[in-house]
Amino acid sequence: MIPDAFKQDLLNRVDIVDVVSARVQLRKSGANWIGLCPFHGEKTPSFSVSQAKQFYHCFGCGAHGNAIGFLMAYAGLGYVEAVKELAESVGMKLPEPERRGAMPRAVGPDLFAVLERAARFYREQLKASPRAIDYLKSRGLTGATAARFGIGYAPGGWQALAGAFERYDDKALVAAGLVIENDGKRYDRFRERVMFPILDQRGRVVGFGGRVLAAEDGPKYLNSPETPVFEKGRELYGLPQAREAIRAANRVVVVEGYMDVVMLAQHGVANVVATLGTATTPAHVQKLLKQADEVVFCFDGDAAGRRAAWHALEVSVEALADRKAVRFLFLPDGHDPDSFVREFGSAGVATRIAEAEPLSAFLLRELRSRCDLATPEGQSKLIAEAKPLVKRIGVPGLRLQLVKALAAAAAMEPAEAARLLEIRDVGVVQPPSRFAPALADRRPMVSNEEWVLRALAVTPELARSLHVEDLPHDTPEAITLRAVVERIVTLPAPPRPLSSAFEDSPLLPAVRKAEADVLLLGFDAAALRPEFEGALRKLEARVKSLEIKEMLARRQTEGLVERLREHKGVSAPAAAGNLAGGGGRPI
């Protein structure tokens, strides 16, 4: 613990205006200083710093605090880290913490300087290596991007670093993970590799990631070992460079590779970081959720990517909080973020990010895929596999919705599901058949196209009775709906689940969202029937209205009276009767 007296002395010595103005542009306004809030996007300054009272306050988002709180919120630092940084800025020495239990790891006083010197050496070597430069150019990297991320090159030879340090036998080189010592012999850890310096939250070099230029040169990636200043499970590549963009978007995207971060940033998607060759850890998630309210994990769509995503879900559930969201994005087969952004650009990436799957939907879909829900055994397995995850979710509202969705999937009452899941704070919830029909109040929040997609997710057979020409094509949502219907009717049998027919299609995110809505809200065929019928009437009316407008624009009178008459009496197709009947298999 840091003594309260030390904290008060520190706050008396620092000037919050100096602390904030070093990171945010401020101007004098009366007795205070004002500027654009760094914690939410705005065009008119509402962020005020009081020099007399030594605190900041945003009249837009409500952010408020002292100099320590500002550093914690702005830089994502922990309390001790923020106090230490402020103390160093005014020449104060942080008091020794009380030692309880295990001794803290000793940190070499010069390791940061050693690592920074190595980083400068690698940057200089890149300029002198045509092979490395040609490799980076072949990957589409520009010089400006390489400079922004401090990318360098470790030349060949066993002791190239001897040219950067006066004493190659310095123990600090081994302690920093730059040199390996074995049987009295020393040699460079990184040789003939493109070097990506890893920075901590304060912008200091703490380690490196090295990539080979050719597959035959050894393992594709080699990372620094754990050192007194570097812990893989806590650091994120690219965080200092991404912090401003993360704050502006209030979203951070997590990828798996150094080049993914670098190339996405080069194409304008700058709010991206990467884990360091290790699985996502709880410390990673906690750090990410300090940076933004939304975390999007981006993985390849193959089996390895889905395993990594599931692990990320498992370590994220406890970190969830109100107003915080974790979502999952899977790229098409054959693509990683680097190749995807080069082919589809930042707009393509932005579209995929916007369609990323909520943690709850991914959890439900993944668990359902592991169980045969047509059998009592499969339904029991679903509840058993969900139990350890749902119990760890600390957001009551989300936990309640998951209980309802799991109950619907397992064909049991929500109260029974809550009992089996050992969830005691959700109360006695009503079965889906009672709460699902009461959807009229939600209607303004959901488009007609979405209601039809939800119905198709429950009863895919409905697509065969729909007439595509009766559906509009004047919005992206309408075009998506028409394409989904057209795809279904070309198949020999209705797909179950619906998304199984769209795994290779750009329509997959929209279909998955419809399935997630059905799961989370406990919809069944009977509950959806009135919404489906009403949505179809409105969609058909929109088609007629568009036709009439076109006819009027062309001054076409032939058939206009008939169209006007039809427009008054549009009715949903008889296919709606199949929604709750024997033609479908409710999920």
Radius of gyration of the chain (CA): 29
- Mean pLDDT of the 150-156 span: 96
Decide if pLDDT at 499 tops 60. Answer: yes
Q: Distance between CA atoms of 127 and 518, rounded to whole angstroms? A: 56
Residue 349 has pLDDT above 80, yes or no: yes
Q: How far is CA 359 from CA 122, 296, 362, 402, 455, in A?
A: 40, 10, 5, 11, 23
Q: Is the pLDDT of residue 163 over 50?
A: yes
Q: Give the H/E segment covering residue 400.
A: helix 396-409
**Overall average pLDDT of the 581-585 stretch:** 34
Give span(s): CATH 1.20.50, the chain: 363-435
pLDDT of residue 581: 39
- Categorize the per-residue pLDDT at 251 as very low, low, confident or very high, splitting at 50, 70 and 90: very high
Residue 212 sits at φ, ψ, to 5 deg, of -70, 155
**Residues contacting 257, CB < 8 A, separation 6+:** 221, 274, 336, 337, 338
- Greatest mean pLDDT among 2-6, 137-141, 285-289 lies in 137-141
pLDDT at 565: 56
Structure confidence at residue 97 (pLDDT): 59
Answer for the pair 303, 251: CB distance below 8 angstroms, yes or no: no
Query: Where along the chain do the CATH 3.90.980.10 domains lie?
Result: 111-223
- Cα 154 from Cα 118, distance rounded (Å): 9
**Token pair for residue 310?**
């599931």
Q: Sign (positive/negative) of CA torsion 227, 224, 243, 392?
A: negative
Specify the higher pLDDT residue, 75 or 404.
404
Q: How far is CA 52 from CA 9, 17, 38, 66, 73, in A?
A: 16, 10, 21, 12, 21
Q: Which of 221, 217, 223 has its CA nearest to residue 192?
A: 217
Q: How far apart are CA 440 and CA 442, in angstroms?
A: 5
Q: Where are the alpha helices (DSSP H) in 204-256?
A: 239-249
Query: Given this model, what pLDDT does residue 121 score?
Result: 97
The confidence score (pLDDT) of residue 582 equals 34
pLDDT at position 208, please? 97
Parallel, antiparallel or unpaired: strands 221-223 and 32-35: unpaired
**Based on the number of CB atoms within 10 Å of its own CB, is 43 exposed (0-12), middle (13-18) or buried (19 or more)?**
exposed
Beta bridge partners of 221: 211
- Tell me: pLDDT of 571 over 60: no
Q: pLDDT tens-digit profile of 439-498?
A: 434 444 688 999 999 999 888 888 888 888 888 888 888 889 999 999 898 888 777 778
Mean pLDDT value across residues 178-193:
93
Domain 4-89 is in which class? alpha beta
CATH code at 363-435: 1.20.50
Is-above-0.85 flag for pTM? no
User: May I ask the CATH architecture of the domain 111-223?
Assistant: Alpha-Beta Complex (3.90)
Please give the pLDDT value at position 201: 80
**pLDDT at position 139, please?**
93
Maximum average pLDDT range among 156-160, 201-205, 322-326? 156-160
Could you count the other beta carbons within 10 Å of the beta carbon of residue 83? 23
| Range name among 202-206, 328-332, 540-544 with the lowest pLDDT average | 540-544
pLDDT at residue 569 above 60? no
Q: What is the pLDDT of residues 21-56, one digit of tens each?
A: 988 899 888 778 899 998 887 788 889 888 867 888
CA distance 57 to 59: 6
pLDDT above 50 (res 434) = no
- For the domain made up of 239-354, the CATH class stated in words is alpha beta
Could you tell me which of 375, 379, 377, 401 has the C-alpha nearest to residue 390? 401
DSSP letter (8 states) at residue 118: H
| pLDDT value of position 105 | 46
Mean model confidence pLDDT for the chain: 84
CA distances from 82 to 2, 10, 72, 243, 418 (A): 12, 11, 6, 16, 42
Q: Rounded CA gap, 254 and 246, in Å?
A: 11
Q: Is CATH 1.10.3210 what the domain over 440-578 is classified as, yes or no?
A: no
Cα–Cα distance measured from residue 118 to residue 124, given in angstroms and rounded to the nearest whole number: 10
- Does pLDDT of 570 surpass 60? no
Measured torsion, CA atoms of residues 511, 515, 520, 524, in degrees rounded to the nearest 10:
140
In the numeric block, the tokens 């009992």 are attached to: 419
Determine if residue 62 is left, alpha or beta; phi over 0 gives left, psi from -120 to 50 gives alpha, anything else beta.
Answer: left
pLDDT, average across residues 130-148: 95
Tell me how far apart the alpha carbons of residues 536 and 453 are, in angstroms, rounded to a whole number.
Answer: 11
CB contact at 8 A, 175 and 189: no
The answer to whether residues 26 and 17 touch, using CB atoms and an 8 Å cutoff, is yes
Average the pLDDT over each of 232-236, 323-327, 498-502 and give the range with the smallest value.
498-502
pLDDT at position 519: 60
The mean pLDDT value for 508-527 works out to 75
Domain(s) labelled CATH 1.10.860 in the chain stretch across: 440-578
Q: What angle do CA 281, 274, 83 make, to 5 degrees?
A: 70
**Portions of the chain given CATH number 3.90.580.10:** 4-89
* pLDDT (tens digit per residue) in 380-402: 999 999 999 999 998 888 889 99
Classify each residue of 542-576 as buried b or exposed e, where b means 16 or more C-beta atoms within 10 Å of its C-beta.
Answer: bbbeeebeebeeeeeeeeeeeeeeeeeebebbebb
Stretch 97-110: mean pLDDT: 48
